[in-house]
Structure formats: structure tokens, C-alpha cells
Amino acid sequence: MDFDRFERVVTAIPEIVACWSVGGGVDYILKIMASDIDAYQRLVDNLLDRDIGIARYFTYIVTKTVKEETALPLSMLLSPGEATSS
């Protein structure tokens, strides 16, 4: 697989809102925002048609968000004592 080519392609697609390179049984995890399943499938079909090294893919659909943080709380980023000193 040409990882650089794959990363360039997914970076250019606005519906792919996040892409993580991971270790283990898969190479990447993509977070895709699509209006419906048909739009998602068209996007995946387009990726497969581009021949960018995708041998297989797994789909997991979010049915409910339990918790999603966009940033760590400030207290977790500061060293102990820093949060209370001014």
C-alpha cells in the first residue's frame, strides 16, 4: 500500500473529517460524515475505484453518541498546582 498516496487522497475529501493511522489489524480509521447510507456507500465506492491500496474495509455506524470531547479539560493539561496558582 502506498501510504502517502492514501493519506493525500483522504485528506482532500471533505466528508472524511478525521483519519488516524493505527497499529494492529488495520492501518487506518476514518471518521466519515455522510448525509445517509447511500452517500456513504458512494464515497466508499469512489475510494475503491481510485485504486489507492484498499484491500478490505470494515464499516461501523454510530447509532448514539454517549460522549465526545473536542479537547481535554484544562485541568488535565496543567501540571498539579498550576490550575490553582495565578
Could you tell me the residue ranges of all domains in the chain? 3-77
Give CA separation, 11 vs 2, 6, 15, 86, in Å. Answer: 14, 9, 10, 41
What cell numbers appear for 73 in the block? 479539560
CA separation for the pair 19, 9 (Å, rounded): 11
Tens digits of residue pLDDT in 11-51: 999 999 999 999 988 899 999 999 999 999 999 999 999 98
Q: Which fold has domain 3-77?
A: Alpha-Beta Plaits (3.30.70)
| Residue/partner pairs of 27-30 with CB below 8 Å, 24 or more apart | 27/1, 27/3
Q: Which residue has the cell 471518521?
A: 31
Where residue 9 falls among pLDDT bands split at 50, 70, 90? very high
- Sorted by sequence, the CB contacts under 8 Å of residue 73 that are 6+ apart come out as none
pTM of the model: 0.75
